[in-house]
């Protein structure tokens, strides 16, 4: 089985767009959550805060590609460009057929959907609907636009399992390389912050309500006061390569994808179960041929919901006990939805490179199963990390990532 390494990373987030800078913002205790005044116009919506992208340069994308892109596709294209640049990847080989795209989103662009239906229902006509509407609302809009923007002619795969999507994308992308179906994969995910996204969580009573005067205090993963998800947005893309090919071209090798596991609770659409989470983590560890004792840090999904955080803490404790450091990055970034898994993977790689476990923001009084939940940055020799993401539908995805193989730069 061929080994898979990460050679480039790119991200667009509520705390900035450079992985090293975003990680430093996390260590400094910064939050990307702000008051969303645009949400005030929506009747009966309890959510009034969110985590929008801080800075973004759409003009980096040629207009011929940008005109059919939603914001989420534009975020992904910028992240992919940075990842390819960081990997020093030869752009003239992207059309070789041996490069693939595996990138997901929760749905197509919710803003484009709203635009479409407002026009159609308001006029009962399609006269004013832009010809690019479907290209922005189709479920594979992120993956297909990445392929078009970079001239990639290999496989294009688009997982759309919401919060688990980009973890799945990395795992599936690694499998494409392992099985010899590709040598290089652009993997990750993207989503855009929309009132419709926030409303989805609000309707099922999973969204954070109130806190307009102190948005930076939410969400509060694992904390006794936690009261729901805060939606964010952005994109995260990594360049995955087969190890020997990366070495042959002198690529910077940042980390190795050691294992991937997934499962489905098959019990409830929106209430998570610890058993399913345990299965996904155990499968990832088995794929990596590792035991829980081999893991130095667990990056939790933990979105700040009462039930979800408790189930995840129980699952994590059942596998790792209370000694391995565990933290969630949602307090800093909000919930970046389909982008969260790959964004967290990138920050896990930064954690390994620096030897620092990031803390959980807004956690002061945990009321979950006893875990080692550092409140401040923790210096630690981090060799291997488990990064987890869990989605509505009972979808569970777990990645195991390790430091670069011996002999890698």
Q: Which residues are catalytic?
A: 163, 301, 335
Q: Please tell me the distance from the alpha carbon of residue 394 to that of residue 60, in angstroms, as a whole number.
A: 38
C-beta separation of 209 from 227 below 8 A? yes
- Longest Cα–Cα distance of the chain, Å, equals 64
Helices (H) and strands (E) in the chain, counts: 13, 14
Facing residues of 389 across strands? 397
Q: Please tell me the distance from the alpha carbon of residue 254 to that of residue 346, in angstroms, as a whole number.
A: 10
C-beta separation of 171 from 341 below 8 A? no
Comparing CA positions, the residue from 28, 7, 4, 6 lying closest to residue 16 is: 28
Comparing CA positions, the residue from 92, 107, 106, 86 lying closest to residue 9 is: 86
Token pair of 119, please? 């026009």
Facing residues of 13 across strands? 16
Residue by residue, DSSP assigns 119-185 as HHHHHT--TTS-TTHHHHHSTTHHHHHHHHHHT--S-EE----GGGHHHHHHHHHHHHHHTTS-SEE
Beta-strand pair 297-300/234-242? unpaired
C-beta separation of 226 from 220 below 8 A? yes
End-to-end CA distance of the chain: 22
Beta-strand pair 99-104/184-191? parallel
Q: Please tell me the distance from the alpha carbon of residue 325 to that of residue 310, in angstroms, as a whole number.
A: 17
Beta-strand pair 4-12/234-242? antiparallel
Token pair of 285, please? 């560890």
Task: Taking each helix axis as running N to C, give the angle between helix 306-320 and helix 274-288, from 0 to 180 degrees, rounded to the nearest 10.
Answer: 40
Backbone angles phi, psi at 132, to 5 degrees: -90, 5
Facing residues of 257 across strands? 4, 401
Please give the C-alpha separations between residue 131 and each of 36, 179, 386, in angstroms, as whole numbers.
Answer: 30, 39, 43
């Amino acid at each position: 089985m061929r080994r898979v390494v990460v050679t480039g990373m790119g991200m667009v987030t509520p705390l900035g767009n450079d992985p090293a800078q975003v990680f430093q913002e996390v260590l400094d205790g910064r939050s990307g959550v702000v008051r969303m005044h645009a949400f005030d116009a929506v009747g009966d919506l309890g959510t009034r805060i969110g985590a929008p992208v801080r800075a973004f340069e759409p003009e980096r994308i040629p207009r011929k590609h940008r005109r059919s892109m939603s914001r989420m596709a534009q975020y992904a294209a910028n992240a992919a460009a940075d990842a390819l640049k960081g990997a020093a990847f030869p752009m003239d080989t992207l059309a070789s057929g041996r490069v693939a795209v595996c990138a997901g989103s929760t749905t197509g662009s919710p803003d484009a959907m709203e635009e479409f239906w407002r026009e159609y229902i308001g006029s009962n006509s399609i006269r004013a609907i832009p010809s690019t509407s479907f290209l922005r609302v189709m479920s594979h809009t992120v993956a297909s636009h990445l392929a078009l923007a970079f001239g990639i002619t290999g496989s294009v795969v688009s997982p759309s399992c919401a919060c688990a999507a980009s973890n799945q994308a990395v795992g599936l992308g690694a499998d494409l390389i392992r099985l010899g179906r590709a040598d290089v994969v652009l993997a990750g995910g993207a989503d855009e912050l929309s009132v419709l996204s926030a409303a989805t969580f609000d309707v099922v009573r999973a969204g954070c309500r109130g806190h307009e005067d102190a948005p930076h205090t939410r969400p509060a993963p694992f904390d006794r006061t936690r009261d729901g998800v805060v939606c964010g947005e952005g994109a995260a893309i990594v360049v995955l390569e087969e190890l020997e090919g990366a070495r042959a071209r002198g690529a910077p090798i940042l980390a190795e994808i050691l294992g991937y596991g997934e499962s489905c609770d098959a019990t409830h659409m929106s209430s998570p179960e610890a058993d399913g989470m345990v299965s996904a983590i155990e499968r990832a560890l088995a794929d990596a041929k590792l035991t829980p004792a081999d893991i130095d840090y667990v990056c939790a999904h933990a979105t700040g919901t009462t039930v979800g955080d408790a189930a995840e803490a129980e699952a994590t404790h059942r596998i790792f006990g209370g000694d391995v450091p565990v933290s969630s990055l949602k307090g800093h970034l909000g919930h970046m939805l389909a982008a969260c898994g790959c964004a967290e993977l990138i920050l896990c790689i930064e954690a390994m490179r620096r030897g620092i476990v990031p803390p959980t923001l807004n956690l002061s009084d945990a009321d979950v199963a006893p875990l080692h939940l550092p409140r401040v940055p923790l210096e630690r020799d981090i060799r291997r990390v488990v990064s987890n993401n869990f989605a509505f539908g009972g979808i569970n995805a777990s990645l195991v990532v390790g430091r670069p193989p011996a002999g890698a730069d």
